[in-house]
């Protein structure tokens, strides 16, 4: 048996998806794993499902917790994990039967401490079970890209392959590389983006498997979260931290500072449009304050005149900005679709 993989599954009220999620791990071609089901104080039947799985397979452990948030749940799983590798899986998602085998082999052969793959975005209403959809593709030899730490940091802060890094679902990381690093439990938004960036800051190398072997299921619960002052502030705090670190690391024009400043502006604008649509004056006012702070920052000067114009228009003349927002959103969705398809064609 090869290295042990600890599969960490944080759970909160996902009883309708949990069985398929866990079964997709049990169906793996690589069987050297343990599953840590960390229940974050669920109020539905998730805990009962976890206990039933524990009784059927000794590799499954159940960790019930009071409700503290997904970061606390993941941290509890990491503290209890015994594996040489950690693999993160959201409780409403599923994985290809060969994913653990492929990521482990890539880490072992390339020496990379972090491995990931491409998401397959699916609607919960789509026909076919996860196993039927995912098993239509088989691997070996694995199509992959290895990158040293400098290249990984560069791509993390770009539109090239940055989307492959930002979510924690589907990431496999060597436990020794994680060390004492944990998710920030004070954050309710963007905590996984921050965690991965902090991992890269430690100097680890990365390998990407170019297969859509992580099934991200879209449904009403994850399409959009609550828009609150705290969620907006947490996202801003995370992205500002990355901007500040990139500024310290490299102040050149090609650094990640410009990219993340653009991301901050775009996210503030999207949240502001939503807050206006929901008539949430409290959040709208808070976002205007953040937007003003951004416009006065040194890094804002790095944005193109067009992006500066959109930023000011959104918060100073909202009715005129709306058509711009609709066009920009459509173009962004088209670019994301193209990037995802290019990733699968590698």
Could you please report the per-residue DSSP string of 254-273? TSHHHHHHHHHHHHHHHHHH
Kindly state the tokens that stand for 344. 């699968």
**Can you list the residues of the chain whose pLDDT is less than 70?**
123-140, 162-163, 219-225, 251-254, 330-346
pLDDT at 140: 61
The values of phi and psi at residue 217, to 5°, are -90, 120
Q: What residues does 35 pair with on adjacent strands? A: 7, 60
Contact residues for 15 (Cβ-Cβ < 8 A; gap 6+): 42, 44, 45, 46, 49
* H helix runs in the chain, sequence order: 15-26, 46-56, 70-80, 99-110, 130-134, 149-156, 175-178, 191-201, 220-223, 229-249, 256-277, 281-295, 305-316, 318-344
pLDDT at 129: 47
Report the C-alpha gap between 118 and 123 in whole angstroms: 16
Report the C-alpha gap between 301 and 307 in whole angstroms: 10
Residue 27 sits at the vertex; the CA angle it makes with 26 and 33, to the nearest 5 degrees, is 45
pLDDT at 252: 63
pLDDT at 218: 74
Report the C-alpha gap between 267 and 83 in whole angstroms: 37
Contact residues for 59 (Cβ-Cβ < 8 A; gap 6+): 33, 34, 35
- Collapse the DSSP code of 283 into the 3-class scheme (helix H, G, I; strand E, B; otherwise coil) and give the result: helix
- Edge-first strand listing for the sheet containing 214-218: 94-95, 214-218, 119-123
DSSP 225: -
pLDDT at 333: 64
Pairing of strands 85-88, 5-11: parallel
pLDDT at 122: 72
CB 7 within 8 A of CB 85: no
CA–CA distance from 346 to each of 143, 222, 249, 298 (Å)? 7, 28, 31, 38
């Amino acid at each position: 048996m090869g290295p042990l993989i600890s599969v960490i599954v944080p759970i909160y009220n996902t009883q309708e998806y949990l069985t398929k999620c866990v079964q997709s791990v049990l169906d793996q071609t690589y069987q050297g794993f343990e599953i840590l089901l960390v229940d974050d104080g669920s109020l539905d039947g998730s805990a009962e499902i976890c206990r039933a799985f524990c009784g059927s397979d000794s590799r499954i452990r159940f960790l019930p917790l009071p409700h503290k948030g997904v970061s606390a749940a993941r941290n509890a799983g990491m503290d209890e994990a015994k594996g040489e590798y950690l693999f993160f899986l959201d409780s409403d998602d599923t994985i290809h039967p060969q994913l653990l085998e492929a990521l482990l082999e890539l880490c072992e052969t390339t020496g990379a401490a972090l491995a990931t793959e491409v998401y397959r975005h699916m609607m919960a209403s789509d026909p076919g079970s996860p196993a039927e959809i995912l098993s239509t593709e088989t691997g070996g030899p694995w199509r992959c890209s290895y990158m040293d730490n400098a290249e990984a940091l560069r791509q993390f802060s770009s539109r090239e392959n940055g989307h492959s890094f930002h979510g924690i679902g589907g990431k496999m990381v060597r436990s020794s590389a994680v060390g004492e690093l944990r998710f920030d439990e004070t954050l309710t938004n963007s905590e996984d983006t921050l965690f991965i960036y902090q991992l890269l800051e430690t100097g680890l190398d990365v390998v990407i498997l170019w297969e859509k072997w992580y099934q991200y299921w879209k449904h009403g619960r994850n399409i959009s979260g609550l828009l609150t002052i705290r969620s907006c502030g947490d996202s801003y705090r995370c992205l500002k931290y990355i901007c500040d670190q990139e500024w310290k690391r490299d102040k050149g024009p090609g650094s990640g500072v410009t990219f993340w400043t653009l991301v901050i502006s775009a996210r503030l604008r999207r949240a502001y449009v939503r807050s206006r649509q929901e008539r949430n004056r409290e959040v709208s006012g808070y976002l205007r304050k953040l937007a003003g702070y951004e416009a006065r920052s040194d890094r804002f000067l790095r944005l193109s005149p067009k992006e500066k114009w959109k930023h000011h228009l959104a918060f100073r003349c909202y009715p005129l900005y709306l058509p711009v927002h609709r066009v920009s959103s459509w173009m962004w969705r088209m670019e994301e679709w193209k990037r995802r398809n290019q990733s699968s064609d590698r």
